[in-house]
A and B are shown apart, each in its own frame.
Chain A
Amino acid sequence: MRIAHLLLVPTLAVAAGMTIPAYAAEKLTYYCSAQEDWCQLMADGFEEATGIDVRMTRKSSGETLAQLKAEASNPKGDIWWGGTGDPHLQAAEEGLGEAYESPMRGEQNDWAIRQAEAAGNQTIGIYSGALGYGYNEDVLKANNLPVPECWADLLKPEYKGHVQMANPNSSGTAYTTLATIVQLFGEDEGFEFMKGLHKNINQYTKSGSAPIKAAARGENTIGIVFLHDAVAQAASGFPIKSVAPCEGTGYEIGGMTIIKGGRNPESAQKFYDWALSAETQSRALEVNAFQVMSNKNAQSSPLAPDLESIKLIDYDFAKYGSADERKRLLKKWDDEVSVLPQ
């Protein structure tokens, strides 16, 4: 009886296999490093637009890079969308990305394409946002503090214990801050600035946007973050005002990378093209993402910080995004700044 069964199953299976056409839906495994609801919006939007089955994982850009490296010999993901551009550049440096030139390239801003050129087309800019800081109006008032306007203001002794930034070792945002200060003031003076700032810092958070979220909840006064993060907190109803420092400031470019050796390269390219379209990018406003989008025709919110009116430095992504320079600056910060008494 059992043996009969054993023989029967394969026979039936073969018969069935010949009559039923193989079912193979198109799939896309999508790693996302932007905020959760934006990631979800992109996943759902792409499923609606193409019918391709999307499997999404949201992780920070650092975590995703770690995962890509670990999975390098057997990639599970197809595309990596969102998150600050440095890890994308790093991935390109290590050859984890697949070079691709999208037909949508003509519609993109120059800064987005420069990002692609720096990485041999393994990545491309999809949005950008300027660095700055935000403060909690109520807490500032309760402590009788003046409104800060420049980077230099943050060094004033009255702000002692009121400023928060992320630890550059763990956060891309904070590393951008460090690199910005170094480019703005020069390396020696920049590190003097960081040492002065260190005295006023109440906590180096682990995650990049945590300082402004703490400020939003009244747990902190001033948080050094990307301006669009500060604006998003204000839009959620928190008493947050954002400041673009008067000396000028750096910026980030969010990246997108097709993962080399992924299992669904066609779907990945479709997603890539779709994500660069004006229509897709305009939908970012639905989820309070106030970054400036890469597509020239994408809509922007009146709340969004206007990059035109902000004094932007000429940020050297190639240099400060490289692994060696990053290691050197972080080590210097570790050895010279973080060990000082506060």
Chain B
Amino acid sequence: MKRSVVLWLVAGFIGYCVLPWYILEDGLWGFEWLFDGYPFDTDYAPALFLIFQGEKLWLSPILLFLLLPLIGDVFTRGLTERSAISTRRANVLIVAGIAGLAWVAFQGYGIGLRGWNFEALTTLFGPLEDRQFGMGAGALLIVGAFLFFLTTGIAGRGAVNGDVFVVGAIGLIIAMVAVFIFFPIVQMLASAFTDEDGGFSVGTFVAKFSENKIWGLGCVTGDTRCGVAWNSLFLAVLVGFFTTLLGLIFALVATRSGFRYGRVLRGLTVLPIITPPFVIGLAIILLFGLSGAVTQFVAELFGLQPTRWIYGLPGIFIAQVLSFTPIAFLVLIGVVEGVSPSMEEAAQTLRASKWQTFRTVSLPLMRPGLANAFLLGFIESMADFGNPLVLGGNYDVLSTEIFFAIVGAQNDQGQAAVLAIALLVFTLTAFYAQRRWLGKKNYTTQTGKGDGGMHVLLPKRVMLPCYVIAGIWTTFTLTVYGMILYGGFVELWGLDHTLTLKHYTTAFAVGYNDFGIHFKGSAWDSFWTTLKIAGIAAPLTAILGLITAWLLVRQNFTGKAAFEFGTMLSFAIPGTVIGVAYILAFNVPPIELTGTGAILVISFIFRNMPVGVRAGIASMSQLDKSLDEASLTLGASTWHTFTRIVLPLMRPAILAALVFSFVRAMTAISAVIFLVSAEYNMATSYIIGRVENNDYGIAIAYSSMLIVVMLTMVAITQLLVGRADTRRRSKAI
């Protein structure tokens, strides 16, 4: 038997015989259950102990499916041909895997908190006098075991050249995406087709979807407002375009201008991304609002009446461009660096001018990066929630409308789902358009062949405007951040500018008592929780994202397009919808996660995974496949090739994914606001509370603290992961 099968068999039996089958109310890692009647208490018992006590007998078939691979040799008796035997073994594994998964799912969904979950089951088997809670650690291991039986079996039948690792990875990601993206979203979207009596109705959907509030064109034809869908679309296109442009400018200045402070610039552009939501909005209000410093100054200078011009499209636009330019920068810098100098040198050898080289060689080679950056900006803007909330004025956009459809006095989940579908149409169209635009051209520039050139400096006519724009933008960013830092130290921001430390002491006071250090500040609780959750989520997100990217770029398998669609889908779905969908899907058995830290971690992983995937794809499509092939030809396994060849070459992508997911986990708000619980309260949710309370001081003090922490983390990650070594000369001589 294969070693991996043995390994998963052992895991499966541990899951069945050792770990508690059901989820524990006080958590697994507290280990209180070990001293509280384990293994016989039915709350904590492993499945095997439950069955021996005559409880939950529906768990017994699982043992049978678990034993199937062990007795698999029975089925190969009489066969002599080697290939026939291994095919038969693979078949046994597939049967065990499918049957096991199906049974676990069936019993989980069939039997819930109040006995049978479905009427049909009650009529079929009569009422059930028993019930069960959500599945726990034991069930998780067993599901893992069955899943890998299945994938090993499929590989054994020759799929993807019989590569166990690749099929396993594909299976794992499909399973996770199915459970944590499709299942909740389908449940949520089903409510778009639900009429008031709870029945299924297409008419309800059509009526809600075609409403004037969504698609109205009043702003074009008259003086009323346009539908929210158009508002969102217009804003997102604008933001996508400008963030890509600015991101490109920064990337060029940082890498190709001979600009000495490129590193400083990198640091600066990363600032907005590590900023908690609302803070940029608040700073912009204090600068450009009706009583804002800039507005008042300009009004006095020119004798104008100050206006509320910032509220609406201009405000959201400025705040979003500030927030999302760094994302474009992060995507583009890798691409700009990755463009092979030898191509540019070739162009110049052929007598192209600097400008011609830039326009006809460098820029086209950056197309995948540009398209990715635009797509990210577009979708980020569509899904952004914090900035429109603070600065939106009367310019309604889909994301906030979805939020208020759910939490508002209306409380109409169907309406939220309908709006979410409109949003999805846009983001998926963007996704499709981006793929069309990229076409099937070849952008490979890192080939593993001799590539010792040096990047061509920018032509003057590009360089100068880049410098100017980057300079203005940097000054603006610095002003905004200066305001933010300052705001934490004044009595009443915007009104009473006496310096004080009181906001910091309220939030982060540390005292000593009999038990040692005592964190008495009101923010510590959420602060530690946030660090913990972000710290767990980031590496998981990066790993999952990069594996997915590698599968997408390097492996060929049936249904790859659908696979890609599935993994990118969560990015196109706004956090608010994910939040509510998660609550609906994971509040009841078999997967009972609400109120735990796990649901936060999971939501972060699947919300941020697409960024890891995109960063991975962008940098991997620049790595020539011959590198992998060389490794494979020399006898290395796929796993070896992935860890020894691909991963080291992808350090920038890994860094980007790690940093981005950590930071996003610390600053995300839209999904989080639905998923936080008393025990797991997050920093952003605490900050919202303070902002709602007009208590900007503490909100800003807390945000400054988070910014400092995230900067430290980013620096540490950078040190640990290091920079990619492409073996090129990095400095002009």
Contacts and interface: CB of A to CB of B under 8 A. Distances in A.
Interface stretch (A59-67, A109-117, A247-255, A269-277): A59-67
B224 A330 contact: no
Given A218-B494, A339-B224, A57 B681 contact: yes
A22 B32 CA distance: 9
Interface residues of B, number: 61
Contacts of B676: 57
Contacts of A40: 522
Interface in B675-733: 676-679, 681, 686, 689-690, 692-695
Given A6-B18, A62-B407, A219-B308, A203 B494 contact: no
Interface string B368-412: 000000000000000000000100011000001000101111110
B113 A74 contact: yes
Given A66-B411, A73-B113, A171-B409, A206 B495 contact: no
Contacts of B677: 55, 57, 76
Contacts of A207: 692
B113 A62 contact: no
A56 B291 CA distance: 36
B592 A70 contact: no
Interface in A4-20: 6, 9-10, 13-14, 16-17, 20
A152 B411 CA distance: 31
Given A17-B37, A219-B291, A341 B223 contact: yes
Most buried by B among A16, A67, A334: A67
Contacts of A9: 18, 34
Contact of B408 (A29, A170, A213, A216): A170
Interface in B554-599: 580, 583-584, 587-589, 592, 594-595
B222 A341 contact: yes
Contacts of B673: 59, 63
A169 interface: yes
A88 interface: no
Contact of A17 (B36, B289, B290, B693): B36
A184 to B, nearest CB: 20
A36 B291 contact: no
Contacts of A233: 694
Nearest to B389: A206
Contacts of B588: 73-74
A22 B583 contact: no
B440 to A, nearest CB: 45
Given A217-B494, A219-B308, A206 B404 contact: yes
A86 B411 CA distance: 13
A317 interface: no
B400 A30 contact: no
Contacts of B406: 63, 66
Given A57-B681, A66-B580, A341-B224, A170 B36 contact: no
Interface in A323-342: 326, 330, 334, 339-341
Interface in B277-333: 285, 289-291, 308, 311
Main secondary structure of the interface of A (DSSP, over half): mixed
B119 interface: no
Given A13-B39, A74-B592, A169 B404 contact: yes
A315 interface: no
Contacts of A200: none
A62 B413 CA distance: 12
Given A66-B580, A73-B588, A207-B692, A13 B38 contact: yes
Interface string B210-245: 001100001000111000000000000000000000
Main secondary structure of the interface of B (DSSP, over half): loop
Given A57-B677, A219-B308, A86 B35 contact: no
A74 B114 CA distance: 10
B492 interface: yes
B291 A217 contact: yes
Given A67-B674, A217-B291, A14 B407 contact: no
A40 B678 CA distance: 11
A9 B409 CA distance: 53
A62 B408 contact: yes
A100 interface: no
Nearest to B10: A2
A319 to B, nearest CB: 16
A309 interface: no
B689 A237 contact: no
B496 interface: yes
Contacts of A121: none
B34 A16 contact: yes
Interface in A32-77: 35-37, 40, 54-60, 62-63, 65-67, 69-71, 73-74, 76
Contact of B35 (A17, A161, A175, A339): A17
Contacts of B411: 62, 65-66, 69, 90
Nearest to B308: A202
A256 B548 CA distance: 48
Nearest to A54: B678
B528 interface: no
B608 to A, nearest CB: 23
Contacts of A167: 404, 408
A57 B595 CA distance: 10
B40 interface: yes
A171 B409 CA distance: 6
Contacts of A73: 113, 587-588
A189 to B, nearest CB: 23
A170 B583 contact: no
Interface string A146-178: 000000000000000100000111111001000
Interface string A173-213: 00100000000000000000000000000111011010001
B198 to A, nearest CB: 13
A217 to B, nearest CB: 6
B625 to A, nearest CB: 42
A237 B454 CA distance: 61
24 contacts: A13-B35, A16-B34, A17-B36, A22-B37, A29-B678, A36-B690, A59-B673, A60-B407, A62-B409, A62-B411, A63-B673, A63-B674, A70-B580, A74-B587, A74-B589, A170-B404, A172-B409, A203-B308, A203-B393, A206-B404, A217-B291, A236-B694, A238-B495, A339-B224
Given A170-B404, A207-B692, 20 more contacts: A23-B36, A30-B678, A35-B692, A36-B692, A56-B678, A57-B676, A57-B681, A69-B411, A74-B588, A76-B595, A87-B409, A203-B394, A213-B694, A219-B285, A219-B291, A220-B290, A238-B492, A238-B495, A326-B409, A341-B223
Interface of B: 18, 32, 34-40, 113, 212-213, 218, 222-224, 285, 289-291, 308, 311, 389, 393-394, 400, 404, 406-411, 492, 494-496, 522, 580, 583-584, 587-589, 592, 594-595, 673-674, 676-679, 681, 686, 689-690, 692-695
